Amino acid sequence: MTDSRSRSEHLSRWLLTALLLIAALLVVFRPLDNLGETYLDDAFKRAMLSFAVARGLNGVISVAQGTEFAVQPAGVGINFAPGEILDPVNDLVERFSWVMLVASSSLGAQKVLLAISSWAGITLLLLLTTGLYLASVWWPARTPLVQRSRVGRILVLFLVLRLAVPFSALLSEWSYRTFLDAQYTQASQELEAAADEIRSVNAEMPVAAQDSENPGMTDRLRRLYESALSQIDFETKLERYKAAAGRISENAVNMIVVYVLQTIVFPLGFFWLLVVLFRQIAV
């Protein structure tokens, strides 16, 4: 029984030593830092592109809201601003822009934290603390239990400071590529297509022609014909605006979900899990 317990303790020491030495190698050679920096740069570029899409949508919607469409069914003049259909989604686009700004700020903050965590002073302190803790593990008789516990807590602190940010960046990027990439790509393409559609309709809006004071019979017939065509064209453009508004609403919400998960929920969740894991390993 004693033999079995001794072997188990010996195996635990070797396993703990191996894990801490692996952590030390990761800290010294910085593979996680380099990958984390690359992934954060990619995510930051995506967020800025999405922010540009949001501002572009806001621009074309503003143009549409300032455009009036004139029709004269049965000789009765009607002026209508079809951009009014886009009023409900304009508020959503503003919130989408705000979320993109927050997401970009979050990613920028993570980049700063990654730079701070890779500071040489933290690395040196982590290596020294790792050596002290391993010494207390392999020679417990020379190290009081209270002192070993204190060193273990300090080691956990340095492990979190040094490795939690790059680990969190890697796990967030893995989660994005596994679960969110397809949704992001589709939503981004749909939003760009909706912006192009609204821009196209805005460009097709007719300019009101100046009527002559005493139109003849030919002019009256021409106006009646143009009015009928204008009415059909008006309804077509109205439907195109409505379709674009629906696409914007659905895909803007999808993009908000992607960025809230990737830049807020996933990093915080992974950071908490890593803190718990490090505590289990080192203490």
110-160 pLDDT per residue, tens: 999 999 999 999 999 999 999 999 998 888 777 777 787 888 888 888 988
- Predicted confidence at residue 282, as pLDDT, reads 52
- Give the residue ranges of DSSP H helices in the chain: 2-29, 31-65, 87-117, 120-138, 145-175, 181-204, 217-260, 266-282
- Predicted confidence at residue 74, as pLDDT, reads 46
- pLDDT value at 184 more than 90: yes
User: Given pLDDT bands bounded at 50, 70 and 90, which one contains residue 69?
Assistant: low
d(CA 43, CA 59): 24
Other CB atoms within 10 Å distance of the CB of residue 186: 13
- Predicted confidence at residue 229, as pLDDT, reads 46
Specify the higher pLDDT residue, 71 or 61.
61
d(CA 143, CA 131): 13
Specify the higher pLDDT residue, 190 or 9.
190
User: Given pLDDT bands bounded at 50, 70 and 90, which one contains residue 241?
Assistant: confident
d(CA 168, CA 175): 10
Mean pLDDT for the chain overall: 81
Q: How far is CA 46 from its chain centroid?
A: 7
Q: Which residues contact 263 (CB under 8 A, 6 or more apart)?
A: 43, 47, 102, 103, 106, 107, 172
- pLDDT value at 204 more than 50: yes
Q: How far is CA 231 from its chain centroid?
A: 43
32 residue type, one letter: L
